[in-house]
Chain A
């Protein structure tokens, strides 16, 4: 073990903005002594920024905690170790007629990561965030050993841990209530649209009929943004589970190494966006697809984050409350187009009223906008400052899972329960993000 601690491993966020060596050891399965130094948990590295990094601390890799513990087919509650990937749950439980009730846009996040970031999916209006379905957690704390928490037991610690960025203890085990499905097929509707007002009309009108919904937007032209809205429902009875593709298609493409410079520039963006939109428009109307393609379209390109080159990229994801959401979104699109720093993926989703249990959950009723930007240093940061101003003025906030640079003041204003949360932090756990946003 002593020898392993001397080995250093490069850990990066998904945005690949830094590449610092870390000391990494596995999270022990059995109640070992808590390390006597500053630590943090890391796993599959899908947080974009510095939420899972800290070169000054010992990294505990949770990926080895990858066993299922039990599944109750009556209640649908799965009890599993925190390093199990969401995709592993989908692959193994779909044949039994169960899937995760909430899934983010990649299957390559761990259960622990899904809890720590209180992730949401394309069905927030109906299902709320991931935390709404978490039944129980086992946390390993430096000051109390292994602590079980749920809505009934240690409810404050439970609420602090959901969306708590891994700062309240090492998440060892997670209970999550799955949902029944008839098959892995999704009934879909694809609707092209022009302009932001059209997006809001379509998204609102589809909500009562379609559980899932997401808009993709080409923002290279702010005056007339073109987009496509994808709605979906788990398909109705008649399509048996056994007919479903139960494994994700293997990644069809891969980016084998980081390009020296970003392949994402105004020219390639326009080209990609118009080709992509044209392809989607041809598919306009009703359709059927499998849940892997609907939920995880980007997982088909392994290591797509390398497209942005050696300097990496930022994702900027905001949520703006209903009041003023349309105006603020239009303002943000104008600022981005003005800065000529458009984004490959501009994703717009409505978030619903279902409140999550987490003190620090990101989701709130309103509209969330997510965009990727190649790292161009100061120019990118200047654009973000403009966007920050718009988000703050509209009463919105940014998503820590995606963040690598928001100012501490903006974090504090966006998360009014921060002071309550700080009381539940584990004194031994610290990440680069927690240092940046909370001072330690």
Chain B
């Protein structure tokens, strides 16, 4: 879900290189999805790669699509957009749309796939963010949405402690993808490195994947920092 997302594409490459997987790429841009599908077909000519053009933010499409791909072994919910915080503070409608896209829509898909899976084992990985671990003045609209995803997946994990659904929340740090093209490249993790951790974590069924792993420690420190210290940080 969100097949043109940089992290999703990099994960798909790893699965294709390993072989034995078929793919359904869902997203808005048929052209973008087709290019990724062609790339995956070269990497694994035996793979069946379907492209489904859909507005993932539209709740009307969720149930039917989830039923159609109910036999998926892994569902990676990777769509989202990094908004400018200041712009959203000034624009209620844009804020609502951003929260819907980054928070509401992904959990609708997660829930629908969990329902569709029935008794089949299904790994449902949702791309959250380290930004969801503590609200910061520079991106709390994005961070709050991502924290909703983390809480939702945590609830699903409580509901399915032993399968058949295996919910995973992925918390990448800033990663070099099209979404972060405007950020300084030196502060971004290579997407292939993040994807390798995501693919390995999904396989293991890790409940929470931090990628790169150092963010687990950094965020633990930030989460536990007293408010009077945290609020003085210019981050």
Q: Is A7 a contact partner of B39 (Cβ separation < 8 A)? A: no
Q: Give the contacts of B198-230 with A (CB-CB under 8 A).
A: none
Q: How far is the CA of A70 from the CA of B37 in the complex (A)?
A: 10
**Which of B19, B38, B182, B183 is A68 in contact with, Cβ under 8 Å?**
B38
A92 within 8 A of B: yes
Contacts of B181 in A (CB 8 A): 1, 4, 26
Q: How far is the CA of A68 from the CA of B35 in the complex (A)?
A: 9
B59 within 8 A of A: no
B interface majority secondary structure: helix
Q: Which of A7, A67, A73 has the most CB of B within 10 A?
A: A67
**Which of A4, A67, A91, A96 is B38 in contact with, Cβ under 8 Å?**
A67
Q: Which residue of B lies closest to A80 (CB)?
A: B42
Q: Is A67 a contact partner of B39 (Cβ separation < 8 A)? A: yes
Q: Give the contacts of B162-198 with A (CB-CB under 8 A).
A: 181-186
Q: Which residue of A lies closest to B42 (CB)?
A: A68
**Which of A7, A78, A93 is B185 in contact with, Cβ under 8 Å?**
A7
Q: Is B17 a contact partner of A78 (Cβ separation < 8 A)? A: no
Q: Is B182 a contact partner of A67 (Cβ separation < 8 A)? A: no
Q: Is B17 a contact partner of A92 (Cβ separation < 8 A)? A: yes
**Which of A7, A24, A71 is B42 in contact with, Cβ under 8 Å?**
A71
B45 within 8 A of A: yes
Contacts of A73 in B (CB 8 A): 45
B99 within 8 A of A: no
**Which of B19, B35, B183 is A67 in contact with, Cβ under 8 Å?**
B35
A9 within 8 A of B: yes
**Which of B19, B38, B184 is A70 in contact with, Cβ under 8 Å?**
B38
A interface majority secondary structure: mixed
Are A92 and B43 CB-contacts (below 8 A) given A67-B38, A69-B38, A70-B38?
A: yes
Q: Which residue of A lies closest to B17 (CB)?
A: A92
CB distance from A233 to the nearest CB of B (A): 27
Are A96 and B45 CB-contacts (below 8 A) given A3-B182, A24-B185, A70-B38?
A: yes
Q: How far is the CA of A9 from the CA of B176 in the complex (A)?
A: 15
A95 within 8 A of B: yes
Q: Which of A24, A26, A68, A93 has the most CB of B within 10 A?
A: A68
Interface size on A, residues (CB 8 A): 20
B-contacting residues of A (Cβ < 8 Å)?
Answer: 1, 3-4, 7, 9, 24, 26, 67-71, 73, 78, 80, 91-93, 95-96
**Which of A1, A26, A68 is B43 in contact with, Cβ under 8 Å?**
A68
Beyond the given A4-B181, A95-B19, please list 19 additional residue pairs across the A-B interface where CB-CB is below 8 A: A1-B181, A3-B182, A4-B182, A7-B185, A9-B186, A26-B181, A67-B36, A67-B39, A69-B35, A69-B38, A69-B39, A69-B42, A70-B42, A71-B45, A73-B45, A80-B42, A92-B17, A92-B43, A96-B45
Contacts of B38 in A (CB 8 A): 67-70
Q: Is B42 a contact partner of A78 (Cβ separation < 8 A)? A: yes
Contacts of B35 in A (CB 8 A): 67, 69
Contacts of B184 in A (CB 8 A): 7
Interface 0/1 of B133-160, CB less than 8 Å to A: 0000000000000000000000000000
Q: Which of B38, B42, B185 has the most CB of A within 10 A?
A: B42
Q: Which residue of A lies closest to B187 (CB)?
A: A7
Q: Is B45 a contact partner of A68 (Cβ separation < 8 A)? A: no
Q: Give the contacts of B22-63 with A (CB-CB under 8 A).
A: 35-36, 38-39, 42-43, 45
Contacts of A91 in B (CB 8 A): 17
Q: Which residue of B lies closest to A246 (CB)?
A: B17
Contacts of B183 in A (CB 8 A): 4
CB distance from B8 to the nearest CB of A (A): 14
| A-B residue pairs in contact (CB < 8 Å), sample of 12 | A4-B183, A24-B185, A67-B36, A67-B38, A68-B38, A68-B39, A68-B42, A70-B42, A71-B42, A80-B42, A91-B17, A92-B17
Q: Which residue of A lies closest to B43 (CB)?
A: A92
Q: How far is the CA of A96 from the CA of B182 in the complex (A)?
A: 38
Q: How far is the CA of A1 from the CA of B185 in the complex (A)?
A: 13
Q: How far is the CA of A288 from the CA of B22 in the complex (A)?
A: 35
Q: How far is the CA of A71 from the CA of B47 in the complex (A)?
A: 14
CB distance from A173 to the nearest CB of B (A): 12
Contacts of A3 in B (CB 8 A): 182
CB distance from B42 to the nearest CB of A (A): 4
A-B residue pairs, 7 tightest by C-beta: A68-B42, A67-B39, A71-B42, A68-B39, A92-B43, A7-B184, A4-B182
Interface 0/1 of B1-24, CB less than 8 Å to A: 000000000000000010100000
CB distance from B27 to the nearest CB of A (A): 15
Contacts of B185 in A (CB 8 A): 7, 9, 24
Q: Is B42 a contact partner of A1 (Cβ separation < 8 A)? A: no
Q: How far is the CA of A3 from the CA of B182 in the complex (A)?
A: 7
Q: How far is the CA of A24 from the CA of B186 in the complex (A)?
A: 12
Contacts of B45 in A (CB 8 A): 71, 73, 96
Q: How far is the CA of A364 from the CA of B45 in the complex (A)?
A: 38
Q: How far is the CA of A265 from the CA of B202 in the complex (A)?
A: 49
Q: How far is the CA of A93 from the CA of B17 in the complex (A)?
A: 10
Q: How far is the CA of A4 from the CA of B183 in the complex (A)?
A: 7
Contacts of A1 in B (CB 8 A): 181-182
**Which of B36, B42, B182, B186 is A92 in contact with, Cβ under 8 Å?**
B42
